[in-house]
Amino acid sequence: MNIGVDIDDTITDIKKEFYNSGFNYLKELGKPLPKTNKIIEDVKNDGSCYQKYFNFNDDEFMFFMRDIQEEIMNNAKPRDFAVQAINKLKAMGNKIIIITARDTVFHEDPYKLSKDWLDKNNIMYDKIVVNAKNKSIEIQNQKIDLFIDDSLTNCTASALLGIKTIRITNEIKKSFVNKNIVYFSNWKDIYNYIINL
């Protein structure tokens, strides 16, 4: 199979750290904190929801998305069993295609940023696709058979294409459930599901 895999909040689990960094940055700026601590989804894959949520002006937003986010990404640890699962799937003959929305708007070299992190963490892959704001286009371009992502938007787009889709999320709520998407909170369950397909 061609297996498409996202990085941020899929192989890694950085959402809480990202939000905590946003709150800390607001405190440094002396700006009021959001009235709610509800985690929102980056539906457009462009970070605009964070600008609205934290009420950042354009300069603050760029600093947050470039400097703060990139540091978090560079230092992120893979989720438990993610490395083993991906490497075992590749060793079985599957192609691992990394599909990430990391782009040149917020990162000088999103390809190098992604490659360096994957290599540092000994994650095997066949290809890295960056600037994938609309992941359904890349899912089709890369002839993906199975797609793994944390975003409900991306997973729904994949499922609508008839692609087997796995959403990894820490909170599986009944309201999120889409019958065309399989939901798991960890890579051991994802791996077991895939090898039993």
CATH of the domain at 135: 3.40.50.1000
Q: Evaluate whether 39 touches 17 at the Cβ level (below 8 Å).
A: no
Say yes or no: 111 and 70 in one domain: no
Q: Which domain holds residue 140?
A: 2-12+78-195
pTM across the whole model: 0.93
Distance between the two ends of the chain, CA-based, in angstroms?
11
| Single residue among 43, 58, 75 that ends a domain in this structure | 75
Is 113 in the same domain as 147? yes
- Binned at pLDDT 50, 70 and 90, residue 139 comes out as very high
Q: What does the pLDDT average to over 162-187?
A: 84
Q: Which burial class, exposed, middle or buried, applies to 100 when counting CB atoms under 10 A from its CB (0-12, 13-18, 19+)?
A: buried
Q: What is the mean pLDDT of residues 135-158?
A: 96
Q: How high is the pLDDT of residue 171?
A: 76
Q: In this predicted model, what pLDDT tens digit does every residue of 31-45 receive, in sequence order?
A: 999 987 777 778 787
- Report the relative pairing of strands 95-99 and 127-129 from DSSP bridges: parallel
Q: What is the pLDDT of residues 70-80, one digit of tens each?
A: 999 999 999 99
Q: Which residue has the higher pLDDT, 169 or 170?
A: 169
Sign (positive/negative) of CA torsion 80, 82, 85, 88?
A: negative
pLDDT at 103: 95
Residues 98 and 128 in one domain: yes
Number of domains into which the chain is organized: 2
Q: Are 152 and 167 in contact (CB under 8 A)?
A: yes
Average pLDDT over residues 113-134: 97
Residues 110 and 129 in one domain: yes
Over residues 100-112, the mean pLDDT reads: 95
* 57 & 88 share domain: no
Nearest to 128 by CA among 100, 159, 153: 100
HSE of 34 in the Cβ direction (CA atoms, 13 Å)?
19
One-letter identity of residue 92: M
